[in-house]
A and B are shown apart, each in its own frame.
Chain A
């Protein structure tokens, strides 16, 4: 049973990680807690659904297109909501509150367009095969989710660490003013980050929609507290931290169901989070706190 539960935890954890990745990226670079991330996540799932049902695309073609679409939505939120506030040097709580408005607008628009009911990908969108390895059963979808999540995360890390562009992003994250003086296109980096983060969120939405067979306007809501927990745990703004934090939360949830009681799932997961933060207040990889003050 333990092996099966580890598979369950890995699938759940990699989706949490993918969701948290975009979340943490925006925080790290724009210093905004983007509460519209859950809405973008939902929009990604609906975009893929439309592409599969209306345009009859294969899901693996629809996935990158849906990521582009949610990326564009993220860019739009940045330009309409966040940019004017940046221009006014607003207090850092204001963009956060503004993203709540954006989230409400997007979820309600989705409810207006698609209805409140749960939609799903038509049967046969994804291979339904499952493999039996010893006592473990694993579906092709679960394998795909883990691989795609890890690929996207690796890609992001490589770009951030190894390319000139990544260097620019990290420089802006460190200090936008200095970066600007050094000739870096700061607004361009902001746009790029908003786009990438939203695309990753949208991708997570598609994968969750596929995996749990449920797409609905409010599907992002239960993930928001988890996403926030993951990026706090990982260290605000840290990409590795979001990955490890996501996997940790997945394992903590599944294992508390497996070995304690499903009644205590959230209590255990968030209790552990609390304990870790007591020992490491800036999270596993965090060094953000000293920068804030």
Chain B
């Protein structure tokens, strides 16, 4: 009898000990990405980047013993869907933070919801100005076009001796329009004359009228802000019309899609980007190898930035002592993020507080150097 009681007591103590020492929690992180529709070509690599990084973190024991759990939702690159997905992630899934959405266009609609609910929203692919002006809960590790394009234009001018350029951009999308706005300022400050500025609309497939007009002005280069597929068709139709000038592109050009469609016609296109596949840092090599092994395809910048973003948040979470109170933990994560420094696949990374806007507290932009690439033989190579 006595033995039984002691045994039972021991059991109880043991059970108690287990219960108190390892309260391994799950940290839920939301991913809102465009997984279907025409923008899926950006959204899918983004999802893959997050999945790969979170599996790596969990395989190494998680963050302070806590497992990271991704809640992945498809926002279809539509504003209204992004809003729905954000609400679901914040109020129903009760995530710690949200990564996404894929397009800046959707970010302007959905980010205010996260900011108001006091949940970190972390963009890995929103590059237009003004994203982090939406509030102190908005972060991004995507380098702004405003930081990339001045370098792109300067290097292109140096390379091809450009005297005057024509500009072509999509005027009904926040991303391509945002890219144009930056190009405009850059061309003005670098004193490069613009022969003519032409526009197109989302869904357009015929660019010949605009290109014919551009050809008549005989520019040295065409500065173009477009998504990859549009860009590829623009380049092909330009070559068909006998335009041989190089293109200078925005962030949207940075996709394997460009070459799938345009092939060698895209040669001599110059772009700037946050990530270089051939970057030789150990961190990047490991990322490329792991990604290629897992998905059977080479990663792109969007996968790389998503991958880095998860490590940035994981780094911040290390400094967070989980209290079990969701609101408090969300706040601690927010407070820990700005001081994170990591060495990612895209290179060394830190945050930079966005310049203050009248009356509104701002979020944090990426502080990183852009790489400049030139298209040669069907791919982008680092420009020397």
Interface residues of A (CB under 8 A from B): 1, 4-5, 8-9, 11-12, 111, 116-118, 120, 123, 130, 132, 137, 139, 208, 211-214, 216, 219, 221-222, 253-254, 257-258, 261-263, 265-266
Given contacts A1-B216, A253-B209, 19 further A-B contacts (CB under 8 A): A1-B213, A1-B215, A4-B215, A12-B206, A111-B36, A120-B261, A123-B263, A130-B240, A130-B242, A213-B236, A214-B229, A216-B38, A221-B203, A222-B203, A254-B209, A257-B198, A258-B213, A262-B200, A262-B209
Instruction: Say whether B38 contacts A117, CB under 8 Å.
Output: yes
Instruction: Say whether B233 contacts A132, CB under 8 Å.
Output: no
B40 touches A (CB below 8 Å)? yes
B65 touches A (CB below 8 Å)? no
Cβ–Cβ < 8 Å partners of A257 in chain B = 198, 209-210, 213
Instruction: Say whether B212 contacts A262, CB under 8 Å.
Output: no
20 contacts between A and B (CB under 8 A): A1-B213, A12-B206, A116-B38, A116-B40, A123-B263, A132-B242, A137-B240, A212-B206, A212-B233, A213-B233, A213-B236, A214-B205, A254-B208, A257-B210, A257-B213, A258-B212, A261-B198, A261-B199, A262-B199, A262-B200
Cβ–Cβ < 8 Å partners of A213 in chain B = 205, 233, 236, 261
The 8 A CB mask of B206-240 against A (1 = contact, 0 = none) is 10111011011000000000000100010010001
B37 touches A (CB below 8 Å)? yes
Q: How far is the CB of A213 from chain B (nearest CB, A)?
A: 6
B13 touches A (CB below 8 Å)? no
The 8 A CB mask of B234-252 against A (1 = contact, 0 = none) is 0010001110000000000
Q: Smallest CB-CB separation from B216: which chain A residue?
A: A1
**B154-183 contacts to A (CB < 8 Å):** 171
Instruction: Say whether A208 contacts B212, CB under 8 Å.
Output: no
Q: Smallest CB-CB separation from A266: which chain B residue?
A: B201
B41 touches A (CB below 8 Å)? yes
Number of interface residues of B (CB under 8 A): 29
Cβ–Cβ < 8 Å partners of B240 in chain A = 130, 137, 139
Q: What is the CA–CA distance of A111 and B76 in the complex, to the nearest angstrom?
A: 13
A-B contact count (CB 8 A): 75
Q: What is the CA–CA distance of A112 and B18 in the complex, to the nearest angstrom?
A: 49
Q: What is the CA–CA distance of A262 and B41 in the complex, to the nearest angstrom?
A: 28
Q: What is the CA–CA distance of A168 and B201 in the complex, to the nearest angstrom?
A: 43
Q: What is the CA–CA distance of A212 and B40 in the complex, to the nearest angstrom?
A: 21
A263-B199 CB under 8 A given contacts A4-B212, A120-B261, A253-B209: yes
Cβ–Cβ < 8 Å partners of B204 in chain A = 222
Cβ–Cβ < 8 Å partners of B242 in chain A = 130, 132, 137
The 8 A CB mask of B15-44 against A (1 = contact, 0 = none) is 000000000000000000000111011000
In-complex Cβ contact of A5 among B212, B229, B261 (8 A) = B212
Q: What is the CA–CA distance of A34 and B236 in the complex, to the nearest angstrom?
A: 34
Instruction: Say whether A212 contacts B213, CB under 8 Å.
Output: no
Per CB-CB distance, the 3 closest pairs between chain A and chain B, nearest first, are A212-B205, A257-B209, A254-B209
Cβ–Cβ < 8 Å partners of A8 in chain B = 206, 208-209, 212
Cβ–Cβ < 8 Å partners of A221 in chain B = 203
Cβ–Cβ < 8 Å partners of B37 in chain A = 116
In-complex Cβ contact of A117 among B41, B171, B212 (8 A) = B41
Q: What is the CA–CA distance of A261 and B213 in the complex, to the nearest angstrom?
A: 10
Instruction: Say whether A137 contacts B241, CB under 8 Å.
Output: yes
Q: How far is the CB of B143 from chain A (nearest CB, A)?
A: 26
Q: How far is the CB of A11 from chain B (nearest CB, A)?
A: 8
Q: Smallest CB-CB separation from B39: which chain A residue?
A: A116
Q: How far is the CB of B159 from chain A (nearest CB, A)?
A: 27
Cβ–Cβ < 8 Å partners of B40 in chain A = 116-117
In-complex Cβ contact of A118 among B36, B200, B229 (8 A) = B229
In-complex Cβ contact of B205 among A1, A4, A137, A208 (8 A) = A208
Q: How far is the CB of A6 from chain B (nearest CB, A)?
A: 10
In-complex Cβ contact of B212 among A1, A116, A120, A216 (8 A) = A1
Cβ–Cβ < 8 Å partners of A211 in chain B = 206
Cβ–Cβ < 8 Å partners of A253 in chain B = 209
Cβ–Cβ < 8 Å partners of B200 in chain A = 262
Instruction: Say whether A263 contacts B241, CB under 8 Å.
Output: no
Q: What is the CA–CA distance of A1 and B196 in the complex, to the nearest angstrom?
A: 15
